[in-house]
Structure 1
Amino acid sequence: MNIIKARAWLAATALGAALPVGAAMAADLLVKAKPVVAATFDWSGVYIGAHAGYGGGMKDWSPTGTQADFVARGALAGGQIGINKQLGSLVFGGELAGSWTDINGKSHLEIGGPALASSVAIDHASGIDGIATVAGRAGLAADRWFVFAKAGLSAAHEKHSFSMLVTGVPGSFTVASGNEVRYAPMLGFGSEYALGGNWSLFGEYNLHLFGDRSVSLRGTSTAAALAGPLAFDQSIDQSIHVAKVGVNYRWGGVAVDPSYPAVRPVPGNDWTGGYIGVQGGYGWGSTQWGDGFGAPNPDFRTDGWLAGGTIGANAQAGSFVFGVEGEILGTGIKGSLSATGPGPGVATQTSILNSRIDWLALATARAGFVAGSNLLLYGKGGVAIAQEAHTLDLSTTGPTTAASLSGKAIHSGVVAGAGAEYAFAPNWSVKAEYDYVRMFGQAVTMTGTAAGGLFGAGVTLVAPINKVGQDLHLVKFGVNYHFNPLPSVVAKY
């Protein structure tokens, strides 16, 4: 969730917190009775806890050194310590967290073949073995539910290695490695639920924007049995997505009649609580390929079905509702493009490009207001993640050559949308939503074989596609089950 949205819902909640609570009155009494404020859970205090989760993202070794694009993923576990202060329905705080991680990935590429009388095997590997974060948290509390956004800085200890073996050239071998501590901004959001005895459970999503940095690699290069030192700088680009769950113990308790009472929901359905759901819909848009192995780079249409599940939580103060939501969707969104024309050094070249989204995940924050007693209108924004498969088929005449290459990558982007949700029965609601997704350009390393022409019987190729991006429009319909019933809140006089 970006800073503008965070400020918007914080401002809306602050305005709601300033509204007076209606006093109890009796028609036959001349003296107005003092209102009784119900005890609510107070999130103020120091807490300590533990967490576990899973994270991953792309590691893009750019052409400034040696190129490879591959996924790193793995588990993590650690602890956190923090402090909160609740004022009305708003909660502010800070948190320091550290995680041991096993987020690793590697790439193995082979180039060449019998027709070239030699081949090259190249291996890349990158891993993160620790992440530390310091962040501020701010959110909306509704009794035992706390929904929050967070932002801060993260630091990761990383290690990288590279090796290259050339066959057909006796004794040709290169190996290099290096490590670094990389700093980056971190964004996230989640929800926390207070149990009895000062314990609470939470779940959250974090995005670590590590970006593109240059890493110094050192090693040796051997040729014809003669070894010498090797040193070069390698540019590596990355963003890491982390989902984690955990438990906190907080020193604090229930505050009776606090100086800044929490804002009660308006009469009608109370949307506070956790929920799960299912949804389906349709997506369409365009895919853009960047420069690559003789490939054209126009846009082409992609479309198809999508369906999956939802999990989320809301907190309501007055008529304002703030929530967080995670979605995982299988899709049939795909598209292709075929282009024929003159090519470099050949009479004609036909290129067939295909892109397919295997799955799409959305991690978002929602902010909205209750209209009437059963209808919630909201806007949302956050992060989009997708696994995509890409293929490139080439054929030429004069000389005749055929090549087929493919590659997969995890794409990252942003999502913004709006929707409406209607509570039609206790615990149940239906929703309709529109989302716009912008997937940022992602480098893709494609591998395959070529035959004919200069390649003879067949050669293994590596084709780096500079950037592949998308614009998507999603229309979704779904049904949610709320673990807290959606009872009518009745004003008492």
Structure 2
Amino acid sequence: MQQIAKLAAIFFVASVIPAFAADVPAKTPSSIAAPVASWTGFYAGLNAGYGWSDATSSNVAVDPASALLFAVVLPPGSFDTRFAQEGAMAGGQAGVNWQLSDRFVAGIEADIQWSDIHGSDIRSAATAIPNLQFTSNTTRNLEWFGTVRARLGFLATPDLLLYGTGGLAYGQTNTSASIGLTPPPGINVATGFSDPSGNFTFACSNAPGSPPNCYSGSSRQTSVGWSAGLGGEWRFADRWTAKLEWLHIDLPGNSVTLVSPSPPSSPGVMTKYNFVHQGYDFVRVGLNYQFSGGAVAKH
């Protein structure tokens, strides 16, 4: 009888354990936390692209003799300029992101850029005096620039960030200009006159041994303005992202003063090109590496 009881107990345990085990959920690989990329953290990278702009300036006489030249001898506005600038740019950026939620990312980014956004303008103006013609030559180049900007983005997918950006911009522009005599080949021409007060005398010649230009000057200036743009950034590997961005920077106007050599002109004979605000547009691609943050477990 005891043997029958033992066999019944063993049968009961053997039948209950599998049933109990069937009710306990198995821990399969699918229930383990999957890594999800986080945009929070510091990053740095490189970029390259292309930029363009329009340069506009007005010519303003500084002394009475120059005022007489540009108002009476030459047609008014003869050497006001407007010309296109374009060229390549490249540089680096660094910043920090904060992922605010599953959909929004905020950040701050700073960049510094080498650029060769340049252009030139050549204008000629004839006078009523036979063979007396003046030609101006103006060149302008944005040599470098940088920005410090805030970024606010929307995650279209966990790995694709669409963002807007804006903030501070600064940059250095190099401008040079000259105005000279351009009579027909083989003809030497000289011109000169004084203002009614007699305190200033403009004089210029294209004869051998004379100064090469009636006026010349250059200026390298750094300006501070603002920037704004739009972009997209794609996480294509752990800690690595690629971006495409349009950026606009707007810098205040500046000027370059052209001096007439003395002699033959009297000291202080000069004119000035005043450039209006400088608006530049850039399209660039970039590559970033995220130093902190990265993949986190999502339960």
2:48 and 2:285 in contact (8 A); partners too: yes
Question: Could you say which residue in structure 2 is the equivalent of 1:315?
Answer: 98
**Native 8 Å contact 2:116 2:141 kept in 1:** yes
Identity fraction in percent: 29
Aligned to 1:437: 249
In the TM superposition, what are the counterparts of 1:368-379 in structure 2 within 5 Å?
368-379=153-164
Query: What is residue 112 of structure 2 aligned with on the other side?
Result: 328
Letter in structure 1 aligned against 2:92: G
Rounded to whole Å, the distance in 2 between the matches of 1:308 and 1:333 is: 14
Q: Using a 3 Å threshold, how does the CA distance of structure 1 residues 336 and 489 change in structure 2: closer, same or farther?
A: farther
Kindly provide the amino acid, as one letter, of the partner of residue 278 in structure 1: L
Aligned position for 1:186: none
Structure 1 residues 297 and 269, CA gap change in structure 2 (3 angstroms): farther
- Structure 1 residue 467 corresponds to structure 2 residue 275: yes
Question: Among residues 456, 465, 477, which one is paired with 2:285 in the alignment?
Answer: 477
Alignment counterpart, residue 422 of structure 1, candidates 220, 230, 234: 234
Richer in helix (by share): 2
Give unpaired runs (5+ residues) of structure 2.
1-22, 24-34, 62-69, 71-77, 184-189, 192-203, 206-212
CA distance in 2, matches of 1:463, 1:407: 13
Specify the code of the residue in structure 2 equivalent to 1:301. Answer: A
Q: Deviations over 1:269-315 (max 9, x none)?
A: 21111111110100012111233346722321000100011011111
Partner SS state of residue 441, structure 1 = coil
* Aligned equivalent of 1:286: 54
d(CA) in 1 for partners of 2:109, 2:242: 15
1:274 to 42, 51, 54: 42
User: Measured at CA, do residues 394 and 270 of structure 1 come closer, stay the same or move farther in structure 2, by a change above 3 Å?
Assistant: same
Of residues 475-484 and 289-298 in structure 1, the stretch that sits farther from structure 2 once superposed is 289-298
Alpha-carbon separation, structure 1, partners of 2:170 and 2:143: 11
Give me the whole-angstrom Cα distance separating, in 1, the residues matched to 2:142 and 2:269: 24
Unpaired stretches in structure 1, ≥5 consecutive residues: 1-27, 29-266
Give a deviation string over 1:436-474, Cα, whole Å, max 9, x none. 2222322x24355536xxx42896765443334322210
Deviations 1:356-383 (A, max 9, x none): 1111111111111112121111011112
Partner residue of 1:395 out of 177, 180, 185:
180
Q: Which has the higher strand share?
A: 1
Q: In 2, are the aligned partners of 1:421 and 1:429 still within 8 Å (CA)? A: yes
1:406 aligns with 2:174: no
CA contact under 8 A between 2:40 and 2:293: conserved in structure 1? no
User: How has the CA–CA distance of structure 1 residues 280 and 343 changed in structure 2, closer, same or farther, with 3 Å as cutoff?
Assistant: farther
Q: 1:392 to 1:324 in 2, by over 3 A?
A: same
Aligned to 1:290, the other structure's residue is in SS state: strand
In 2, distance between residues paired with 1:312 and 1:355?
Answer: 31
Aligned to 1:306: 89
CA contact (8 A) 1:437 1:471 kept: yes
Whole-Å separation in 2 of the counterparts to 1:343 and 1:474: 41
Listed one character per residue, the Cα deviations across residues 7-37 of structure 1 (whole Å, up to 9, x for unaligned) are xxxxxxxxxxxxxxxxxxxxx9xxxxxxxxx
Task: Give CA deviations for 1:294-350 in whole Å, capped at 9, x if unaligned.
Answer: 672232100010001101111111121111111110011100000001369993221
Change beyond 3 A, Cα 1:404–1:447:
closer
Q: Residue type of the partner of 1:308? A: G
Q: TM-score, normalised by structure 2?
A: 0.67
Secondary structure, aligned partner of 1:332: strand
Q: 2:261 aligns with which of 431, 437, 450?
A: 450
One-letter amino acid of the structure 2 residue matched with residue 332 of structure 1: D
Distance 1:290 1:274, change over 3 A: farther
Asked if the contact 1:291–1:467 (Cα under 8 Å) also holds between the matched residues in 2, the reply is no
Alpha carbons 2:251, 2:278 under 8 Å: kept: yes
CA radius of gyration, larger in: 2
State the 1:409 CA deviation.
1.0
Structure 1 distance, partners of 2:281, 2:243, is: 17
Q: Is the 8 A contact 1:330 1:359 kept in 2?
A: yes
Relative to structure 1, the CA distance from residue 445 to residue 341 in structure 2 (aligned partners, 3 Å threshold; closer, same or farther) is closer
2:175–2:220 Cα contact (<8 Å) kept: yes
Equivalenced residue count is 222
- Separation in structure 2 between the aligned mates of residue 278 and residue 344 of structure 1, nearest angstrom: 56
Distance of aligned partners of 1:448 and 1:457 in 2 relative to their CA distance in 1, 3 Å threshold: closer
**Cα-to-partner distance string for 1:364-421 (whole Å, 9 max, x where unaligned):** 1111111212111101111221101111111136524423211111123322111111
Distance in 2 between residues matched to 1:485 and 1:292, nearest whole Å: 56
CA distance in 2, matches of 1:358, 1:425: 34
Cα distance 1:317–1:457, how it changes in 2: closer, same or farther (>3 A)? closer
SS of 2:79's partner is coil
Residue pairs, 1:39-78, within 5 angstroms: none
For residues 488 and 370 of structure 1, the distance between their equivalents in structure 2, rounded to whole angstroms, comes to 17
Aligned pairs (5 A) from 1:167-186: none
How far apart, in 2, do the equivalents of 1:358 and 1:372 lie? Answer: 38
Change (3 A) 1:362 1:461: farther
Match among 354, 357, 362 for residue 147 of structure 2 = 362
* Deviation sequence 1:58-107 (CA, Å, 0-9, x none): xxxxxxxxxxxxxxxxxxxxxxxxxxxxxxxxxxxxxxxxxxxxxxxxxx
Asked if structure 1 preserves the Cα contact closer than 8 Å seen for 2:90 and 2:114, the reply is yes
**1:220 paired residue number:** none
Q: 1:37 corresponds to which residue?
A: none
Does the alignment pair 1:338 with 2:146?
no
Change (3 A) 1:343 1:305: farther
Aligned counterparts, 1:55-204, within 5 A: none
For residues 276 and 291 of structure 1, do their structure 2 counterparts lie closer, same or farther at Cα, with a shift above 3 Å needed?
Answer: same
- Counterparts of 1:344 and 1:480, CA distance in 2: 62
Q: Which amino acid aligns with 2:143?
A: D
* TM-score normalised by length of structure 1: 0.42
